[in-house]
Amino acid sequence: MTIMTQNCVEATPQKGPIVERTRYYQLTSETAWKLRQADLTRSEWELWSYLVTLDPFGDRYNQLPALVEVLAAVDISKATFYRAIAKLQEHGLFDFQVADVKFRNLLGRENSLKNATPISKMRKLSQN
């Protein structure tokens, strides 16, 4: 089985014009066996096929597109996405590395203002 991946555009200085060629990913029997053993759900299969088109050869780590874009392309929820990447990693199909995690303390703002006048619950609700 062969899976077509993104087109690869290359400029060759010696030959002049830009040449566009399509790259193909050969699905080996070992990969097919791993996929069957993983018993992927439809959503997990969709995510795997989407990711393998972005990185067919696994020769380097790639930046994942914006999460919103991935969710729309694969038509899955955020929770399903995170469950699916955990399963893909667990079965050795992909490796994911968290490069940037942002966080915010939702309770810290209230508690950090020691000299501030307490705000009633009603006022808080009216400000939301």
Tell me, yes or no, whether 57 lies in a domain.
yes
Residue type (1 letter), 52: V
pLDDT higher for 67 or 115?
A: 67
10 — pLDDT class (breaks 50, 70, 90): very low
Which pair of structure tokens corresponds to residue 119? Answer: 């705000």
- Please report whether residue 106 resides in a domain: no
The type of residue at 83 is: R
Q: Is residue 27 part of a domain?
A: yes
Mean pLDDT value across residues 97-114: 73
In a domain, residue 52? The reply is yes
The structure's pTM equals 0.61
The parent domain of residue 35 ranges over 2-97
Inside any domain, residue 67: yes
Q: Per the domain annotation, does 45 fall within a domain?
A: yes
Q: Does the residue 104 lie in any domain?
A: no
Domain count, the chain: 1
Nearest Cα residue to 74 out of 103, 96, 43: 43
